Amino acid sequence: MDKSPDAFRTISEVAEDLDLPQHVLRFWETRFTQIKPMKRGGGRRYYRPQDVDLIKGIRHMLYDQGYTIKGVQKLLRENGNQFIVAVGSGDRAAVEAIAQRKQAEAAPPTPAAQPRGADDEMLVGEPRAKPNRRFFGLGKAEEDGPVQPDSGKLSRDNRALLQEALFDLLECKRLLDQVR
Q: What is the dihedral of CA 180, 32, 76, 14, to 10 degrees?
A: 70
User: What rounded mean pLDDT belongs to the chain?
Assistant: 75
Q: pLDDT tens digit string along 56-95?
A: 999 988 988 888 999 899 988 888 888 888 888 787 777 7
For 38, list phi and psi in degrees, rounded to 5: -75, 135
**Amino acid code (one letter) for 16:** E
Sheet holding 9-10, edge to edge: 9-10, 45-47, 38-39
Residue pair 121/90 in contact by the 8 Å Cβ criterion: no
Q: What is the pTM of this model?
A: 0.54
How is the chain split into domains, by residue range? 1-107, 111-180
Query: Domain 1-107 falls in which CATH fold?
Result: Multidrug-efflux Transporter Regulator; Chain: A; Domain 2 (1.10.1660)
